[in-house]
Amino acid sequence: MKIGLLACDFVNPDFLEIDGDIPEMFAGLIKHSKIDADWQVYRVWEGEIPSSTCECEAWFTSGSRSSVYQKEDWIRQFGEFITALHEDRRKTVGICFGHQMIAQALGGEVRRSDHGWGIGVREIEITTEEPWMEPSLKRVCMLFTHQDQVEKLPPGARLLGSVDHCPNAMFAMGTHMLALQPHPEYSRAYLRALIQSREAIIDHPTYQAGLDSLEQKPHREEPAAWLRHFLTS
């Protein structure tokens, strides 16, 4: 399988020694998911947009420090490509910023959360189980870091999972698009460094609770298996 990574950001050079850059993180996720795949990386934030949805068999989109509602050419072009992926029914997994763009591009609503930062290990309650969600879990713990979130799902979306601070944490469009607010590609070490670098802009109770939550081990094997089953179903 050839997978295209729509990279919408880059890792701070100070943190590269933890898990590498964004392509390395996603390569690790795919390896952990036991998917036999070749990678093509597109530096979307630099305006590198694929010319066709057929260039790859499946697609991942990364997170970003940007917001999907910002008026920048690359963000507009990225949204148009997400719409094309949906129209062509291409297998697509959107993570964080990618999750939000799937929602916005297809008619949903994204804005800055009234709850402030969502950071750390959070427990997602599974609201709808899909056939590819094997092994089955009623709740899954994953890593979060975001301020923006999906406030309104696009028409036709199926809500898959919710968190108290982020009700639309997981959703699907048809059998071809999966959108996740959490980061299955992150490690706790990387998220800890990211949170610590933002101490000055996160309120202290949220900051400390986020760091403390990293003592809890998130699910990793199960979401990795879900991704494999989703992409190959």
The verdict on whether 185 is a catalytic residue reads yes
The whole-angstrom separation of Cα 208 and Cα 117 is 12
Q: From the candidates 96, 141, 165, 166, which is the catalytic residue? A: 96
Q: What does the CA dihedral 187, 45, 58, 230 come to, rounded to 10 degrees? A: 40
Q: From the candidates 8, 183, 219, 222, which is the catalytic residue? A: 183
Cβ-Cβ contacts under 8 Å for 39 (sequence gap 6 or more): 2, 3, 4, 5, 23, 26, 27, 30
The verdict on whether 96 is a catalytic residue reads yes
The whole-angstrom separation of Cα 71 and Cα 222 is 37
The whole-angstrom separation of Cα 161 and Cα 127 is 5
Residue 206: Cβ within 10 Å count: 17
Beta strands per DSSP E along 65-220: 91-95, 109-112, 118-126, 139-146, 148-152, 157-163, 166-173, 177-180
The verdict on whether 57 is a catalytic residue reads no
Give the single-character DSSP code of 153.
Answer: P
Q: From the candidates 86, 185, 219, 222, which is the catalytic residue? A: 185
The residues annotated as belonging to the active site are 96, 183, 185
